[in-house]
A and B are shown apart, each in its own frame.
Chain A
Amino acid sequence: MRNERGAHRGAESGQSAQPPGSDEALQRCADEPIAVPGAIQPHGALLAVTEPDLAVVVASANAADVLGGTPASLADVLPAADLDRLRAGLAGDLAEVNPLRVTIGGAEIDLVVHRADGLLVTEWEPLAGAEQADAVWHSRLALVLQRLSASRTLEELTASLARDVRALTGFDRVMVYCFDPEWNGEVVAEDRRADLEPFLGLRYPASDIPAQARALYATNWLRLIPDATYRRVPLEPAANPVTGRPLDLSGAMLRSVSPVHLEYLGNMGVVASMSVSLIDRGRLWGLISCHSSSGPHRPSYADRVAAEFLGRTASLLLHTTVEAGEQGQVVAVAQRQAELVAALGRTPRRPAQALTEGTPTVLDLLPAAGAAVRLDGRLHLLGSTPPAERVPGLVAGLLARGRTATDVLGSVVPGAADVADTASGLLAVELGGGRGDFLAWFRPETLREVTWGGNPHTPKTVETEAGPRLSPRRSFAAWRETVRGTATPWREHEVEAAQALAAHLTESALQRAGEDNRLAAALQRTLLLEELPKVPGVALAARYRPSAADVVGGDWYDLVPLPSGRLAIVLGDVAGHGLAAASVTAQLRHALRAHLLRDRGPGAALQGLGEVIAALLPGELATAVVAELDPETGEVAVASAGHLPVLHATADGVRLLSEGRGPALGLLDEVHYAETRVRLAAPDRLLLYSDGLVERRDVPLPDRLDALCAAVAAGEEPEALLDEALAALDPADTDDVTLVALGRT
């Protein structure tokens, strides 16, 4: 399909296998003077004249053939009336003059004029041999324009353009060709004779249309080659006497084109070719490219003007049509974002469900093949994603580099190349809360299916007698180059939508956490005793210190006078924090009370509690220790379900009760808990405590337990004992801390 091409591969080529001499050839081609070829095509004649005397100073060698002689002045060839019309037109806008229909030697000729290099360039194109569109077409122009301007998308606009330009000009194939930012081109619309192979979707490398040709096309709207097998007609003299240089033909319709381009067309089997520029706000956006392979083809000047007019009209529409199309996508993303936010609002406590199970899901927010949601540390995957264990690392890797989105993950995050098939593109946004939660979207390696028109890596230099010369590719069969590891780029509004959704999630999670904390704190207060029961013969003290993180923990303690006269002392801890843990704590506390009141001993009560968890709270895990004291005798029975050992301070020293232990509650459905018995002498003290007292990251637990034993002594008042323990251990404020101390009075 190509238009004038010269240089093929620039400095970016990186080819090491180029034949010697090819650099020189490339350079020669890039320098090829396409605007000043010194020759024209033979389907008309050219006379460059001075003004105002209209003396011919440059003439094409075929002037005599076309005009019946080589005139010294336009007065020699134009009838007087036509000469007057021309002179009148020269005073005004030359576009108003063109074309001047004249009859010379019985032949009708379109005379087209423009100014260049200080001369008036006149081009004489005989009507004979030109094709004329049906008059019907011109009468339908209004309809055609209406259809163009009614296009809502770029696809509609370009399809309509290809169809109408072909209907007008009668070429075998009309393509609309669009440049990417690197000047690679893609065929985005096509109208062709039914028997021709489709070129729609083919891509061509930037080198197919060199910069010099692009510069020319940005000012000259239409080029025509009616017969690519033509013999060039030289201009005489070769140098314009006014400038001393060859005449500038960049604005001439008869300009002879690069022989390289003609060879290119020949290789494609194209005999006639025409192209119209599409220019968006001053920049070459693309081309309407027309081909005929069945034979020479020359639309009339009038039809070419109409085609150019369609190109100019479409050019004006490009900007708004592209913008409207993009706007449509932006609106669609915003719409789905709103739907997701609404779904989150309907189920504020199950955000993961709202994002992954409803319609739309987070995957539908924007065009992507896969999505990942990590909420409260739990990962949910949708669509096509890397394996679950890879996802957090990929997201962390991207975010750690200060990036939100990439379309080449493999070259941004080390070790990510092997997931290119699902995650060449990654868009990730972090959710607040410091738990490493995130939202992420994945795009696969695009078979960006760069369907180049020919293999761009094939050297194109051939040897000729004159030395190395560039030759266009011989094969135009589509050649696919997959750009490995590259995904469709993320667009700005998509990134913004992801960030907005993440911000919403973070904010509502914070709000929810605030509500939860207030509720949990209220619940926790009901778990603590307003006042310790007065039990004759027993001295008691208890402390509960919530964590500084403003998160309610799962600690509880309880003192339950039993029917037998004994006193049950309980200290427990439910796994987790917040409202959920607090509500489980409340249930366990009451269930344990019920079992204690049956008065069958601490082991039986813990066993009963374990059965409650298995039946009603599967998956929950708790530890608890129960001590039952007979105030009369000082007998104490202790049973522990995975809890820290009870401290027993005696006159002889302090020890931890290592007996009477069983697994944490919730580990097994049915457990028999052993009990251990000690006798509490008058000065003896028992201390029950939660892990918040002794757990510290920087000191091993055994050392902390040793420190606790060293901090307390028999004989101390329970309140004082708790003060001593807290002062000595100085527990971290990241967890709640609960202690109960008792002794006999």
Chain B
Amino acid sequence: MSDAAIHRKPLFGRTRRRMTARFAVAVLILIIFLFPVYWLFITSLKSAAEIFARPPVWYPAEFNLRTFAVLFKDGDVWAIYNSLIIASVSTVVAMVLGTAAAYSLARFKTGGQNLAIWIISQRMIPPIVIVFPVFLMFVWFGWIDSYVGLILLYIAFNLPYVIWMMRGYIEDIPIEVEESALTDGCSRWQALRKIVFPMARTGIFATAVFTFIFAWNEFVFAMILTRTEVLTFPVLVTHYYGAQSTFWAKIAALSVLGTLPVFFAVATLQRFLVRGISMGAVKG
């Protein structure tokens, strides 16, 4: 083994100098990828003069929370609140429905491979393709610009993802554990509640966080199906692009408000990140 290690000459090697070089490259890459995020953050903290300064200001003289104050005063933060309500409620419902369905697929192979594939294929349809009939349906029901409309749509939109991911997490639990609970005196529901759900709790949590992020970030449905009352934050961001003038400060500030929750969500997910974004293809 150690012989092989000595002869090994990889692209990015193992010696101390190589390690330093790799570290430097890694830092450079990180700077490139995070610089736009940094720019967004400092833009939200700049004064009006600093935003429209030439050359651009890389570091504001003071952290100016004026724009955030304006967002609160004008009630624009309402969009964040809307996003929060819509994403949370739709996530909870999608998780309940989806986990039940996933259990059925994982444990009984309900409908065989084709049902599973049909379910996830629903996820692949571009929103723009289905949004018009949905729009008309919502007009009939009076759901345009309402919580209930967008929540229902997001439940449906995220359901395939929840089912697909939870099926994988449940399949990871050996069926014998559940059977053991059954012989130990559990009903099927007790076995779920006392054994399956506790064992799948990290998977449930990770899936819920991703579902929340998807709903939180969604734009096309929200733009078309809302007007003024339940605008979500990405829609409101685009409203700041005016025909004559663009409200950079507000764009940046609202974007920051809309990005912070995602930061925290991702920070909690480390171990499940890969599995979540690869739709279960990589178990990480």
- A, B assembled together: no
**Interface residue ranges, A against B (CB under 8 Å):** none
Report which B residues bind A (CB closer than 8 A): none
